[in-house]
Structure formats: structure tokens, C-alpha cells
Amino acid sequence: MATNCVTTASLTWTPPSAAPNSGVANFSVTSSVNAQSVGKVDVLVTDASGTVIPIPFGTCNSPKTVIIKNMMSTDIGVRLNGAGSDTFKLGAGGMFMYSAPTSPGATPLSAISVVTTAQPAQVESVEYFVLGD
């Protein structure tokens, strides 16, 4: 059964020569979704730097909303659509968010992997939310 997924982002900042925190922008995207994969992947103390960890999409073949939250104390690499090298780095505590009301007609988001940049001293994790069809 389809349900609505609402992704909201709020941004507050201080524009040049303006009052503190006077810049405000709010964004919202609503999509209808039939599948989801939500959870976390653990990064173990045995995972060396350069370990590639796929984010499970489960039955979600056409993601409309994806959030990756780096809960680690180090940066992680992020690879999109099976890229052989990092598409970008995501800092410790950082979040990557993708949201669209419909899936694109060409080159949809089809896979995400995270890549360790250091071996953790204790078990750490990366949270993920994948919602779509």
C-alpha cells in the first residue's frame, strides 16, 4: 500500500551584513512510496580503511528519498550507482539527503555504498533511510 513520504529541510544562516540568523529557507518534498529499507550498518573494528559497505535498498528498486547519516567519528566515502571510486566524502556526523517527488526518467539512483577512511577503534555505524517503489 502506498504511503506519503514528506522530506523537510530547514536552513537558517546569517547573510552578509544582515541580522544574525535572519536568512531562513524551508524546503519540502512529498512523494508516494511503496517500499522502504531503514536501518544502520555497523562498521566493525576489523573493517580496515577502504572497506566498501553497500547500503541495502531491500525491495526499493526506485528510491525517491534517501538519507545517509554518518554516525562515525571519521569521514566516509560515498559511492553512487556502483561508482568505482568515491563520489564525495561525508564528514563525521554529516548527512546526505536525496529527495524527489517522482523517480527520474533516466539515470535513477540505483545503489549507494559507503567506504571507510580509517579503521574504527570501536564499533561505529552509518544510518540509512531508503524509501520509494
Mention every residue, 6+ apart, whose C-beta is less than 8 A from residue 94.
Answer: 69, 70
Render pLDDT for 81-106 as a digit per residue (tens, 0 to 9): 999 999 999 999 999 999 999 988 88
CA-angle at 83, arms to 109 and 81, nearest 5°: 15
Q: Please tell me the distance from the alpha carbon of residue 44 to that of residue 93, in angstroms, as a whole number.
A: 17
Q: In the predicted model, is pLDDT for residue 63 greater than 90?
A: yes
Q: What is the pLDDT of residues 18-56, one digit of tens each?
A: 999 999 999 999 999 999 999 999 999 999 999 999 999
Percent of the chain whose predicted confidence (pLDDT) is above 90: 94
* pLDDT number for residue 106: 87
Query: Which of 50-62 are b and which e, b meaning 16 or more Cβ less than 10 Å from the residue's Cβ?
Result: eeebebebeebeb
For the chain, the structural domain boundaries read 33-132
Residue 58's pLDDT is: 95
Measuring CA to CA, how many Å separate 123 from each of 4, 40, 71? Answer: 34, 12, 11
Q: Model's pTM, two decimal places?
A: 0.91
77 — pLDDT class (breaks 50, 70, 90): very high
Highest CATH level, class, for 33-132 = mainly beta
Output the average pLDDT for the chain: 96
The DSSP secondary-structure symbol of 3 reads E
Going by C-beta distance under 8 Å and a sequence separation of 6 or more, which residues neighbour residue 71?
40, 93, 124, 125, 126, 127
| Average confidence (pLDDT) over 45-68 | 96
